[in-house]
Amino acid sequence: MFNVLKQRILTGLVLAPIMIGGIFYLPIAEFMIFIGVITALGAWEWANLSGITNKVGRVVYTLATSGILFLLWALELEQHTELLYGAFAWWVLAFLLVRTHPKFTSFWASTPVRLLMGLVILVPMWIGFVQIKGYPYSGYLIIFVMLLVWGADVGAYFAGRAFGKHKLAPNVSPGKTWEGVYGGVLVTTLVGFAGGILLQEKIHMDLTIKQWSLLFVATLLVTAVSVVGDLVESMMKRHRGIKDSSNLLPGHGGVMDRIDSMTAALPVFALALSIVGWNISL
């Protein structure tokens, strides 16, 4: 246990500065490549989750995913909000799949369908990152949504251990409970409030009741969908019969194990910002 904790801390100390540096200091073009690399690593692992165990097949899927990202960039389609609506629709469907699992397993159990699911999960995450990077205060926005995801995870862990009785999705992740979800919502609500205070300081004006309401609606939505993102990967791993998506990150498992919630949270948060019409003064 101590060795695992030590590995988690050391890996975090290495990854955190890299991620923060990329978010705040990389220009948009380099940032697109930076997130593209993370997406490609996720694709490498998702190929395994889909049932492709040979390296050639996983390389092909990784290259295909990277090629789609390049095509979106070349055609300037990464800024099209319609793609985010498609991602939101997918996560609504994903919630139904998780809640009813294993009832509809036969619809997605085949390797080709799972590979397609991986594209629907990973590509919109990249689009979400890129779109948010184009907004004012983009670094703070990205950190904000990441804090929401982490807050939901931490709150769920402690509340679930202390009060967990009612299973959230017992056939997917037996350890997760509704009490954990409520704990996560409590933490992310505090994160949302802190984010609103920081925003007021940045724009030198008080948020209106409507703006505060939109902030908390977006916070709740991102929290909810981040849980679904986590559960979908858990469902895939359970079906595949593996514990971690890979052993790439010592103490943490694989890249997908770290970004599973982000794959849902980023595109949904980017969509919320586009609907609100984000700008410096809101």
User: What pLDDT is recorded for position 282?
Assistant: 44
pLDDT digits (tens, 9 = 90+) for 3-55: 655 666 777 778 888 999 999 999 999 999 999 999 999 999 999 999 999 99
Please calculate the CA angle 170-176-177 and round it to the nearest 5 degrees.
Answer: 90
* pTM score: 0.93
Return phi, psi of residue 237, to 5°.
-65, -40
Task: Please state, in angstroms and rounded to a whole number, the distance separating the CA atoms of residues 199 and 51.
Answer: 45
Helix (H, G, I), strand (E, B) or coil at 220: helix
Q: Would you state the structure tokens that stand for residue 246, as one six-digit string?
A: 């890979």
What is the full DSSP assignment across 77-135? Answer: -TT-THHHHHHHHHHHHHHHHHHHTTTTHHHH-SHHHHHHHHHHHHHHHHHHHHHHHTS
Exposure of 162 by Cβ count < 10 A (0-12 exposed, 13-18 middle, 19+ buried)? exposed
Domain boundaries, the chain: 2-276
> Residue 98's closest CA among 174, 149, 169?
169
| Beta carbons within 8 Å of 181's beta carbon, 6+ residues apart | 156, 168, 227
User: What pLDDT is recorded for position 6?
Assistant: 63
User: What pLDDT is recorded for position 280?
Assistant: 45
Q: How many Å is the Cα radius of gyration of the chain?
A: 18
Looking at 204-247, list the stretches that DSSP marks H as alpha helix, in order from N- to C-terminal side. 209-240
Exposure of 8 by Cβ count < 10 A (0-12 exposed, 13-18 middle, 19+ buried)? middle
Q: Would you mind telling me the total number of residues written for the chain in this entry?
A: 282
Residue with tokens 């809101």: 282
Which residues, given as ranges, of the chain have pLDDT below 70? 1-8, 251-252, 279-282
User: What pLDDT is recorded for position 113?
Assistant: 97
